């Protein structure tokens, strides 16, 4: 059956969307549902800043899509507003550690935000120069500073915990009052932190547990009220989407992406309601797109490592890290890339596992005749072929 042709005009006349942006807004239209407990805990922990005291460290843990970053950013705005009323000079800095993975790049990002009158380079400064400038800026003014390190596990895995240890000790050496909040999607983040750093930091932990089906239903229902036209999505569809995502990990973002995918399919089919039968096809579409987007966003050498895994498995081989590294070296030669160490590649494999692109488990590998950590691919054949093509064209 031939696909029906659609036009921009027909999409604009759709009876589905009212305000699509609401589905993806970081700030919910009526506040954060089912996060009052965590909000209250964070308010209590951050309140000393308004008394000009430092908060040595607050750990915020939770799976992706559980509201950690959005709620923290909202609270920071509220804190800044209250600080202004109290006459407190509060500077804040937000750093995403998936993009800034070294102590130098993290501190440069903080400096650029708390000292905007000075222009700082994104690269080019060495560690010693950065640390010297960081100490000077914080040492000359009696200000309050709140630093928020999001997705900190990326920096810890790649560069170690020096930046955390430094921030834990910073208030001994500067005039400023420096507080730190750390956010991680990895509940095992403490495994990457040395005992000396853990003892220097505070032990406050705020846990954002995954949303259950009822909670996701409430979140979807509230967003749909503002994003879609009235009576477009039934209660049965809302509950179906909530159940799907609750069983996968309670990620509200993914639940709302699935709502949007259902709406787009309904628009394309010129339907005026989103029926239950659309959910399954929308779910397949979202999964495929999210995997390919994830693969395309990998840094160059992680793409090479993942391509090495795909190449080995395509050959029907049971593979471990050693075999992946061999294939990775071959690909580096083909793509004229300077290879990284085998240890670094093992770190990349851990990251790919955490992203859900591969699975690893210790077992007997028949073709290698040894017990090792076996690596397998979590994609079906069609999606694997698309991922391989994307890697081939983007490395």
pLDDT at 367 over 70: no
Q: Residue 16: which of 270, 188, 198 has the closest Cα?
A: 270
d(CA 232, CA 391): 39
The mean pLDDT of 98-123, rounded to a whole number, is 89
67 in helix, strand or coil? coil
Query: What is the reported pLDDT for 202?
Result: 62
- Rounded to 10°, the helix 252-268/213-227 angle is 50
Place of tokens 């853990």: 198
Across all residues in the chain, what is the average pLDDT?
A: 87
The mean pLDDT of 259-278, rounded to a whole number, is 90
Query: What is the reported pLDDT for 204?
Result: 84
Query: What is the reported pLDDT for 1?
Result: 47
- pTM value is 0.74
Cβ neighbours, 10 Å, residue 29: 12
Helices (H), ranges, 249-296: 252-268, 277-296
pLDDT at 316 over 80: no
d(CA 358, CA 179): 37
d(CA 80, CA 90): 7
The per-residue b/e assignment along 257-296, b for 16 or more CB within 10 angstroms, e otherwise, is bbbbbbbbbbbeeebeebeeebbeebbebbbbeebbeebe
Query: What is the reported pLDDT for 199?
Result: 77
Q: How confident is the model over 146-198, as pLDDT tens digits?
A: 999 999 988 888 888 889 988 888 888 888 899 999 999 877 777 788 888 87
Highest mean pLDDT out of 40-49, 98-107, 123-132: 40-49
Query: What is the reported pLDDT for 365?
Result: 52
d(CA 143, CA 174): 10
Cα distances (Å, whole numbers) of residue 240 to 216, 226, 235, 280: 10, 20, 9, 10
Q: What are the residues whose beta carbons fall under 8 Å from the beta carbon of 220, sequence distance 6 or more? A: 238, 241, 242, 255, 256, 259
The DSSP code sequence of 375-389 is: EEE-S-HHHHHHHHH
Place of tokens 């909000």: 39
Place of tokens 């049965």: 236
Q: Residue 258: which of 23, 31, 62, 68 has the closest Cα?
A: 23
Classify the C-alpha dihedral 290-27-25-151 as positive or negative: negative
d(CA 57, CA 163): 12
Cβ neighbours, 10 Å, residue 177: 22
Cβ neighbours, 10 Å, residue 159: 17
Per the model's pLDDT, the better-predicted residue between 214 and 186 turns out to be 214
Cβ neighbours, 10 Å, residue 138: 23
All domains of the chain, ordered by start, with CATH?
A: 8-24+211-295 (1.10.8.60), 36-208 (3.40.50.300), 298-394 (1.10.10.10)
What Rg, from alpha-carbon coordinates, does the chain have? 24
Q: What are the residues whose beta carbons fall under 8 Å from the beta carbon of 316, sequence distance 6 or more? A: none
Q: Which region among 34-38, 142-146, 244-248, 319-323 has the lowest average model confidence (pLDDT)?
A: 319-323
State what percent of residues in the chain have pLDDT above 70.
Answer: 92
Query: What is the reported pLDDT for 318?
Result: 64
Degrees, nearest 5: CA angle 212-214-218 = 115
d(CA 386, CA 379): 10
Q: How confident is the model over 235-262, as pLDDT tens digits?
A: 999 999 999 999 988 999 999 999 999 9
Cα distances (Å, whole numbers) of residue 140 to 121, 133, 137, 175, 223: 21, 11, 6, 6, 46
pLDDT at 11 over 70: no
Q: Are 54 and 178 within 8 A, CB to CB?
A: yes
Query: What is the reported pLDDT for 306?
Result: 94
d(CA 173, CA 183): 25
pLDDT at 317 over 80: no
Residue 119 token pair: 């222009």
């Amino acid at each position: 059956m031939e696909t029906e042709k659609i036009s921009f005009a027909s999409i604009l006349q759709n009876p589905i969307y009212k305000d699509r942006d609401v589905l993806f807004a970081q700030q919910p239209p009526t506040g954060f549902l089912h996060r009052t407990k965590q909000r209250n805990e964070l308010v209590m922990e951050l309140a000393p800043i308004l008394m000009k005291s430092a908060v040595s460290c607050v750990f915020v843990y939770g799976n992706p899509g559980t509201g950690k970053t959005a709620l923290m950013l909202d609270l920071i705005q509220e804190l800044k507003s209250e600080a202004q009323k109290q006459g407190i000079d509060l500077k804040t800095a937000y750093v995403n550690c998936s993009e800034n993975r070294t102590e130098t790049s993290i501190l440069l990002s903080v400096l650029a935000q708390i000292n905007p009158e000075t222009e700082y380079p994104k690269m080019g400064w060495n560690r010693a120069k950065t640390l010297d400038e960081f100490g000077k800026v914080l040492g000359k003014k009696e200000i309050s500073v709140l630093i928020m390190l999001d997705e900190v596990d990326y920096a810890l895995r790649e560069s170690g915990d020096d930046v955390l240890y430094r921030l834990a000790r910073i208030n001994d050496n500067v005039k400023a009052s420096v507080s730190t909040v750390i956010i991680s999607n990895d509940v095992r983040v403490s495994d990457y932190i040395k005992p000396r750093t853990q003892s220097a930091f505070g032990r406050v932990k705020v846990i954002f547990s995954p949303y259950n089906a009822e909670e996701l239903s409430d979140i979807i229902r509230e967003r749909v009220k503002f994003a879609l036209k009235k009576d477009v999505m039934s209660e049965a569809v809302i509950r179906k989407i909530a159940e799907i995502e609750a069983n996968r990990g309670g990620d509200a973002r993914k639940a709302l992406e699935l709502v949007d995918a259902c709406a787009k399919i309904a628009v394309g089919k010129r339907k005026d309601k989103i029926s239950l039968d659309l959910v399954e096809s929308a779910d397949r579409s979202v999964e495929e797109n999210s995997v390919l987007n994830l693969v395309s966003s990998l840094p160059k050498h992680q793409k090479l490592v993942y391509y090495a895994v795909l190449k080995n498995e395509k050959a029907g081989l049971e593979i471990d890290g050693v075999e992946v590294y061999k294939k990775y070296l071959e690909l580096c030669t083909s793509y004229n890339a300077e290879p990284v160490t085998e240890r670094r590649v093992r770190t990349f494999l851990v990251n790919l596992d955490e992203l859900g692109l591969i699975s690893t488990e210790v077992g007997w590998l028949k073709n290698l005749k040894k017990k090792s950590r076996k690596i397998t691919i979590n994609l079906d054949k069609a999606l694997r072929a698309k991922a391989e093509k994307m890697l081939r064209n983007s490395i």
